[in-house]
Structure 1
Amino acid sequence: MTTPEPARESRCPAHPAGLDPVALSGPRFHTEPHQLYREMRREHGPVVPVELPGGIPAWLIVSYHEMHQVTSDPELFPRDVSLWNQWPNIPDDWPLLPMIQKPQPSIYFTAGEAHRRHASLVVPALESVDPFELRHACEQLSDQLIDAFCSRGEAELVSEFAKPLPVLALARLLGYTESDGAAVARALGELVDGGEGAMRAHQEYLALNHQLIKNKRVEPGDDVTSWMLAQDGFTEEEVALNIKDVMGAAFVTTADWIGNSIRLMLTDDRFAAALGGGRHSVGQAMNEVLWEDTPTQILAGRWAARDTLLAGQQIRAGDLVMLGLAAANADPLIQQQFAPSQGGNSAHFSFSHGEYRCPLPAQEIAEIIARTAIEVLLDRLPDVDLAVPAQTLVRRPSTFLRGMTAIPVRFTPNRPTGDQP
Structure 2
Amino acid sequence: MTEPAATPPPGCPAHAGATPLYGPRFQTDPSQLYRELRAAHGPVAPVELAGGVPAWLVIGYRELQQVTGQPQLFGRDSSRWRAWATLPADWPLKPMMAPVPSILYAEGEEHVRRSRAVTDALAGIDPFELRKHAEEIADGLIDEFAGRGEADLVAEYAHRMPLLVLCRVLGLDEEQAPQLIAALLAMLDGGPDAPAGAQRLLELMLALVEEKAEHPGADVASRMLAHPAGLTHDEVMRDLRVLLIAGHQPSSYWISNTLRLMLTDERFAASLAGGRRSISQALNEALWEDTPTQIFAGRWAVRDTQVGGQRIGEGDMVLLGIAGANADPAVRQPDGRPAEGNRAHLSYSYGEHGCPFPAQEAAEVIATTAIEVLLDRLPDLRLAVAEHALVWRPSAWVRGLVALPVSFTPGHPA
Please classify the TM superposition score into its range, dividing by the shorter chain length.
Answer: over 0.9
Instruction: Please tell me whether residue 268 in structure 1 is matched to residue 265 in structure 2.
Output: yes
Q: State the partner residue of 1:198.
A: 194
Deviations 1:298-352 (A, max 9, x none): 0111111111122221111111111100001111221127975551111111011
Deviations 1:106-130 (A, max 9, x none): 2112112211111011000000110
Between 93-102 and 186-195, the greater mean CA deviation after superposition: 186-195
**2:8 and 2:54 in contact (8 A); partners too:** no
Deviations 1:261-296 (A, max 9, x none): 000000100001100122211010000011110000
Q: What is the TM-score of this pair, normalised by structure 2?
A: 0.94
Q: State the partner residue of 1:224.
A: 220
Amino acid at match of 2:411: N
**2:13 and 2:46 in contact (8 A); partners too:** no
Between 16-25 and 132-141, the greater mean CA deviation after superposition: 16-25
1:315-394 mapped onto 2 (5 Å cutoff)? 315-336=312-333, 341-394=338-391
Instruction: Name which of 1, 6, 24 aligns with 2:21.
Output: 24
Cα distance in 2 between the residues matched to 1:196 and 1:11? 27
CA-CA distance at 1:65 after TM superposition: 2.0
Q: State the partner residue of 1:311.
A: 308
Amino acid at match of 1:40: L
Instruction: Please tell me whether residue 69 in structure 1 is matched to residue 66 in structure 2.
Output: yes
**1:225 and 1:243 in contact (8 A); partners too:** yes
Q: State the partner residue of 1:409.
A: 406
Between 232-241 and 200-209, the greater mean CA deviation after superposition: 200-209
Cα distance in 2 between the residues matched to 1:72 and 1:310? 13
**2:186 and 2:197 in contact (8 A); partners too:** yes
**1:85 and 1:318 in contact (8 A); partners too:** yes
SS class of match (1:186) = helix
Provide closer, same or farther for how the CA distance between residues 362 and 11 of structure 1 changes in structure 2, counting only shifts above 3 A: closer
Provide closer, same or farther for how the CA distance between residues 144 and 356 of structure 1 changes in structure 2, counting only shifts above 3 A: same
Deviations 1:23-54 (A, max 9, x none): 11111112110100111111112111111112
Q: State the partner residue of 1:124.
A: 120
Q: State the partner residue of 2:3.
A: none
Cα distance in 2 between the residues matched to 1:11 and 1:195? 26
Runs of 4+ in 1 over 4 A off after TM superposition: 337-342
Cα distance in 1 between the residues matched to 2:356 and 2:132? 22
Provide closer, same or farther for how the CA distance between residues 353 and 286 of structure 1 changes in structure 2, counting only shifts above 3 A: same
Cα distance in 2 between the residues matched to 1:290 and 1:174? 25
Instruction: Please tell me whether residue 210 in structure 1 is matched to residue 218 in structure 2.
Output: no
Unaligned runs of 5+ in 1: 1-9
Cα distance in 2 between the residues matched to 1:95 and 1:172? 32
1:132-281 mapped onto 2 (5 Å cutoff)? 132-232=128-228, 233-281=230-278
Cα distance in 1 between the residues matched to 2:336 and 2:31? 16
Deviations 1:391-421 (A, max 9, x none): 100011211011011000000111101xxxx
Between 339-348 and 131-140, the greater mean CA deviation after superposition: 339-348
Cα distance in 2 between the residues matched to 1:102 and 1:187? 20
Amino acid at match of 1:145: L
Q: Percent identity?
A: 52
CA-CA distance at 1:183 after TM superposition: 2.1
Q: What is the TM-score of this pair, normalised by structure 1?
A: 0.93
Q: How many residues align?
A: 407
